[in-house]
Amino acid sequence: MSDRPTHSAGAFSLGGVEAHASRSLPRLLLPIAAVGAGLALLPLWLGHSRVLMGVAVLGLAYVCYTIAFNVIFGSTGQLFLCVGALAGIGGYGGAILADSAGWPIAASILAATLAATLTGGLLSFVAVRRSLGVIFTGIITLIFSLSFDALVLGLGELTGGDTGRLITSGAGTLLRDKIPPYYLMLALALLFLLVHGLLRRSHVGWAFRALRDDEVAAELAGVDVARYRVYAALVGAAMLGLAGSTYAFTEGRISPTTFGFGEVDIVVLVMLGFGGIGALFGPIVGAVTFTIVDEILIDFGQLRHVAYGMLIILLFLRLPRGAIPTLAGLWQRRRRPKG
Amino acid sequence: MIANILDGIVLGLQFGLLAVGLTLVYGLGGVLNLAHGQMAVAAAMVVALAQAAGLPIWLAAGLGLLAGGLMGLILDLTILRPVYRLRGEARVLLSLLLTLGVSFTVEGFLNWRYALGALSLRIGGGAVEILGVPMRRGSLAASAITLATFAALFLFFRYTSLGRAVRSVIEDQEGARLVGIYPHRMLRLILVLSGVLAALVAITRAMVTPIDVHSGLSITTFALIVTVVGGLGNVAGALLAGLILGIVNAVAADLIGTYISLIILLGAAALTILTRPAGLLGVRE
């Protein structure tokens, strides 16, 4: 069994394809603007159908989640298996503040986002402080996810338990219209991309790459690994809280499955795996592809979960750098033989 | 109260046995198998199907155990191959992601094919009184089987040369290789064993309460919690942690409610990771 060479020992790295972030601002802004312009045209095509627009809005919410996960996991290698739970703090927190406490919507979203940010920061701080490593960070955040789930089910009067709760605040406004939620979530996604892109260009981004490539070397070179990990978690968790909360208000209804582990975390893993871990535009590529595929497979019901599971296996087994980056790499190698 | 504690012990023994498979595979091969619960559920479905086909219960149970072991073997022969080529954290991470994919595939398939499938083994006869508490015969039989299995495991690891070889690999892989033990063979053996144990837990659990196709995630979760509290790679720790958490769970569920008791269990696991990363019986390195 060990007759095969062990060449792939380093093949499964967390590194993305973009080894060097572009240093010039236009080279960052132009692709984001192009992506934005392309996605902004979508309602022209699908705008007639409420169902399809709903799918598109959910797809954009997943883009946001995946970007956030990319910031935390792709940039600094912290396996946060609580994407759905952090987004859920935003969603449930915002809904409870607005409906039960009577806060204005904007203030509710802000407060819920803050709560998610602090929670994510705390998780990262604890993980870094106890130097937990990838696995224990994964287990701790998974435990947090499951606790959040149990809490949502247990606090039935506040959360609506298994059936979920309706959000009355915002009903009848633009938030529940057909098209505006799409542009709201698109704006968020583009904002997140921009923030991630700017982070990568700044000294923070260099620190991220250094600590991801070789943690010990980064530490020796004077990079405060612990601090940058917590930074990444704070930024990512803020994105999750904001996106989860905003999505909840546009949807008008949340339930445990809106933010469930199987529904959010697994899907985000597949999306990021598909687009390429650590790559700036990986989440867009992965989420858009996945949303389309998922919509096609919708009639297969439970078989979709089989498809997700196999996709995860296939992606991390054969294409650990991401499906799209690998294809791009093949294409480049063909154009430049001797690459 | 005594009834709760006895219930907790019944549950705890099964928790412990569930965690043994997970903890051995991790300690031996650095593989965290998140499909453990789904393997148990799949084995339970095999038993249910065999029973429905008219096979006697002992034969159906035997087929279930066989299916569990087979699943462990298949994992070892297929998707874990690339994992074995990695070392350290990358190895655990890849195994975690791949088995997560397996768990989804298995659960999705079972949900699709046998959405209403469930295994429930009834053991007839009236309740038996223990310490003044009437206990169902199913619970007693399940506990007896689990205890016997623990005893067999203990003897195996203590007194057989094969068991000692496994332990030597857990302690020092390179050292074991130097004295002529193949770590990979031991790992395959342990993966098969963990599959059989998962099936055994599913069967004995079905004597106490029905196991349906959706139980996979919660089984994996409990196994993971117990494994973490008991210390990764520690069989005695898994038994102790299983018993403690089982009792805590039964008592808390009765006093405060099911959801909060789950949070208490999860909190216990988080606390263990933060204060004693090597587990209850672990030795700090």
Quick: pLDDT tens for A87-128.
Answer: 999 999 999 999 988 899 999 999 999 999 999 999 999 988
Q: Can you give the pLDDT at residue A321?
A: 61
Q: Can you give the pLDDT at residue A5?
A: 37
- ipTM exceeding the 0.90 mark: no
Q: Can you give the pLDDT at residue A328?
A: 65
Tell whether the model's pLDDT for residue B153 goes beyond 60: yes
Residues in chain A: 339
Would you call B184 an interface residue with chain A, using a CB distance cutoff of 8 Å? yes
- Taking residues B125-134, what's their average pLDDT? 74
Tell whether the model's pLDDT for residue A137 goes beyond 50: yes
| Per-residue pLDDT tens digits for A270-284 | 888 888 777 888 889
Q: Are A133 and B89 in contact (CB under 8 A)?
A: yes
What token pair was written down for B70?
């087979």
For A146, which of B107, B266, B277 is closest by C-beta distance?
B266
- Cα–Cα distance between A117 and A113 in angstroms, integer? 6
Q: Do B262 and A304 lie within an 8 Å CB cutoff?
A: no
For A154, which of B90, B112, B257 is closest by C-beta distance?
B257
Q: Can you give the pLDDT at residue A135?
A: 80
pLDDT band at A4 (very low <50, low <70, confident <90, very high): very low
Residue with the larger pLDDT of the pair B174 and A115? A115
Tell whether the model's pLDDT for residue B133 goes beyond 80: no
| Per-residue pLDDT tens digits for B84-96 | 888 877 788 888 8
Residues of A in contact with B277 (CB under 8 A): 130, 132, 136
Q: Can you give the pLDDT at residue B128?
A: 75
Q: Any idea which fold A4-335 has?
A: ABC transporter involved in vitamin B12 uptake, BtuC (1.10.3470)
Q: At what angle do helices B161-171 and B183-208 cross, to 10 degrees?
A: 110
Name the pTM for this structure: 0.84
Q: Is A251 left (phi over 0), alpha (psi -120 to 50) or beta?
A: alpha
Q: Do A12 and B86 lie within an 8 Å CB cutoff?
A: yes
Residues of B in contact with A9 (CB under 8 A): 85-87, 90
- Taking residues B7-33, what's their average pLDDT? 89
Q: Any idea which fold B2-154+181-270 has?
A: ABC transporter involved in vitamin B12 uptake, BtuC (1.10.3470)
Q: Do A309 and B98 lie within an 8 Å CB cutoff?
A: no
Q: Do B105 and A262 lie within an 8 Å CB cutoff?
A: no
Residues of A in contact with B82 (CB under 8 A): 8, 317
List of residues 6+ apart from A333 with CB closer than 8 A = A339
- Boundaries of every domain in chain B: 2-154+181-270
Residues of A in contact with B81 (CB under 8 A): 1
pLDDT band at B169 (very low <50, low <70, confident <90, very high): confident
Q: Do A150 and B263 lie within an 8 Å CB cutoff?
A: yes
Question: Any idea of the CA torsion for A303, A307, A308, A313, to the nearest 10 degrees?
Answer: 140
How close A313 gets to chain B, by Cα (Å)? 5
pLDDT band at A301 (very low <50, low <70, confident <90, very high): confident
What token pair was written down for A100?
């039960």
Q: Can you give the pLDDT at residue A326?
A: 65
Q: Can you give the pLDDT at residue A49?
A: 83
Q: Can you give the pLDDT at residue A22?
A: 46
Residue with the larger pLDDT of the pair B181 and A239? A239
Q: Can you give the pLDDT at residue A337?
A: 54
Q: Which residues of B241-276 are buried (b: 16+ CB within 10 A; e: fewer)?
A: bbbbbbbbbbbbbeeeeebbbbbbbbebbbebbeee
Residues of B in contact with A322 (CB under 8 A): none
- Taking residues B65-87, what's their average pLDDT? 90
| Per-residue pLDDT tens digits for A213-233 | 777 888 888 788 888 899 999
- Taking residues A166-186, what's their average pLDDT? 84
Tell whether the model's pLDDT for residue B183 goes beyond 70: yes
pLDDT band at A6 (very low <50, low <70, confident <90, very high): very low
| Per-residue pLDDT tens digits for A151-170 | 898 888 888 888 888 888 87
- Which residue of chain B comes nearest to A320, CA vs CA? B94
Residues of B in contact with A13 (CB under 8 A): 90
Would you call B116 an interface residue with chain A, using a CB distance cutoff of 8 Å? no
- Other beta carbons less than 10 A from residue A129's beta carbon: 11
- Cα–Cα distance between B33 and A12 in angstroms, integer? 18
Residues of B in contact with A146 (CB under 8 A): 221, 262, 266
pLDDT band at B45 (very low <50, low <70, confident <90, very high): very high
- Cα–Cα distance between A35 and A151 in angstroms, integer? 38
List of residues 6+ apart from A158 with CB closer than 8 A = A92, A96, A100
Q: Can you give the pLDDT at residue A84?
A: 95
Q: Can you give the pLDDT at residue A23?
A: 56
- Which residue of chain B comes nearest to A145, CA vs CA? B266
Q: Do A139 and B224 lie within an 8 Å CB cutoff?
A: yes
DSSP B40-89: HHHHHHHHHHHHHTT--HHHHHHHHHHHHHHHHHHHHHTTHHHHHT--HH
Q: Do B96 and A301 lie within an 8 Å CB cutoff?
A: no
Interface test with B, best of A2, A76, A146 (most B CBs within 10 A): A146
- Cα–Cα distance between A257 and A265 in angstroms, integer? 11
Tell whether the model's pLDDT for residue A28 goes beyond 90: no
Residue with the larger pLDDT of the pair B34 and B125? B34
